[in-house]
Amino acid sequence: MKILVDANVPAADACLAPLGEVVRRPGRQIAPADLRDVDALVVRSITRVDAALLAEARRLRFVGTCTIGTDHVDSALLAERGIAFASAPGCNAEAVVDYVLVSLSTLAERQGWRLAERRVGVVGAGNVGGRLLARLSAMGIDSLACDSPRVEAGDVPPEQAARFVSLDALIEACDVLCLHTPLVGEGPHATRHLLDAQRIASLAPGTVLLNAGRGDCVAGDALRARLAGQADIAAVLDVWEQEPAIDAALRDLAEIATPHVAGYSLDGKLRGTHQVTRALCQALGLPCRVTLDDLLPAPPLAGLVLGPGLGPEEALRLAMRAVYDPRRDHDALRREHRARGMAAGFDACRADYPLRREFATLEVALPAGERETARWLAGSGVRVTTA
């Protein structure tokens, strides 16, 4: 069996080599001719899997994407051709929530406000949004949610129903908006330009807009105009329209601007590879002998000791940044843009991404009696011990 894999998929050899010949190719360079004698294709979000790409695929039996999102894959076409398909739902959800929390904490420090004083609105309560809501609740941060498809399907526990409101009600009630929706082009629950010019204009001064879902869910031109004109809201953007050739002016106006790496933890990537490998084995009736524990290395920073006297939010910032600081990725995007141009620089940031682990890999030791700090830290996802 021949397996073609995006060159940025980690541990592909460890997972897939036991199943056959593994050929690596940069995701944006995968072309129809590459699929002529391929049995399985494993990609990430930058490879569009459609009729054009599959024009010369004669032996293809499986397509897997090591990502949560699937809007880059024509799954209906695959089903029509009898090609098995799998994604990796939830694989990097914890990493995206890490990104959201540390980015908001960084912005709070920069602008002089406290997370505890804000109400966070979460748009999309799936794998990422649902985890974010759970962590916010555990930390004691007020939050509301909007997920119309989930509400209509009756997929909201009764005890949580009061937290789910319409998008416009969410915008009116919340100080922070976090977008975690898939990209849906049409229909009653379309999300393309979900935040259109009208909704962006309606954002109250002081609002923080964070998008770590899909770039096309926000009208970039309208957001740029609001940021450049009134300059009274703040944006944290990890996803963009027209990736990788994103709007440089919008990037410059964002408080934190990163190159679609919110979910780029090593843990999340390895989960994605392993999930797709298991799906491939199941589809082809093969044994899967590699476990996720086989793939995950020990974290470079396993423990942190904090002394007394720190407030909960200061302790939280120290712990989160010890694991991951989004300012690194913000600076890398600017640096690579200057060196290579926007599109090539954007892709270079992703291809050469440095090691990053998740909050759950860190254990924080606190003095006895720091109950509030312990609650914030444990709620954020790190492990807490007390002396």
The domains of the chain, with CATH numbers, are 2-91+265-295 (3.40.50.720), 93-257 (3.40.50.720), 303-386 (3.30.1370.170)
**Per-residue model confidence (pLDDT) at position 219:** 98
Among residues of the chain, what percentage have pLDDT more than 70?
100
**Per-residue model confidence (pLDDT) at position 87:** 97
Other residues' Cβ atoms within 10 Å of the Cβ of residue 212: 25
Distance between CA atoms of residues 233 and 120, nearest Å: 15
pLDDT, tens digit, for every residue of 99-111?
999 999 999 999 9
- What is the widest separation between alpha-carbon atoms in the chain? 66
Nearest residue to 278 via CA among 295, 264, 263? 295
Asked whether 98 and 92 are in contact (CB, 8 A), the reply is no
Asked whether 262 and 93 are in contact (CB, 8 A), the reply is no
**Annotated catalytic residue 214:** yes
Q: pLDDT confidence of 317, banded at 50, 70, 90?
A: very high
Task: Name the active-site residue from 241, 243, 336, 370.
Answer: 243
| Helices of type H across 140-265 | 148-152, 167-173, 197-202, 220-229, 248-253
Q: Which residues contact 142 (CB under 8 A, 6 or more apart)?
A: 118, 119, 120, 136
**What's the chain's length in residues?**
387
pLDDT value at 370 more than 80: yes
**Annotated catalytic residue 274:** no
Q: pLDDT confidence of 34, banded at 50, 70, 90?
A: very high
137 is in an annotated binding site: no
**Per-residue model confidence (pLDDT) at position 68:** 87
Q: pLDDT confidence of 69, banded at 50, 70, 90?
A: confident
265 is in an annotated binding site: no
Q: What is the pTM of this model?
A: 0.91
pLDDT value at 30 more than 90: yes
Task: Name the active-site residue from 214, 274, 317, 337.
Answer: 214
45 is in an annotated binding site: yes
Q: Which amino acid is at 52?
A: A
147 is in an annotated binding site: yes
232 is in an annotated binding site: no
Q: Which residues contact 222 (CB under 8 A, 6 or more apart)?
A: 196, 197, 200, 201
Task: Name the active-site residue from 260, 271, 274, 330.
Answer: 260
Over the chain, what is the mean pLDDT? 96
**Per-residue model confidence (pLDDT) at position 25:** 96
- What integer is the mean pLDDT of 291-304? 95
Distance between CA atoms of residues 332 and 353, nearest Å: 10
238 is in an annotated binding site: yes
Nearest residue to 20 via CA among 41, 8, 3, 38? 3
- What integer is the mean pLDDT of 201-207? 98
pLDDT value at 387 more than 90: no
- What integer is the mean pLDDT of 82-108? 97
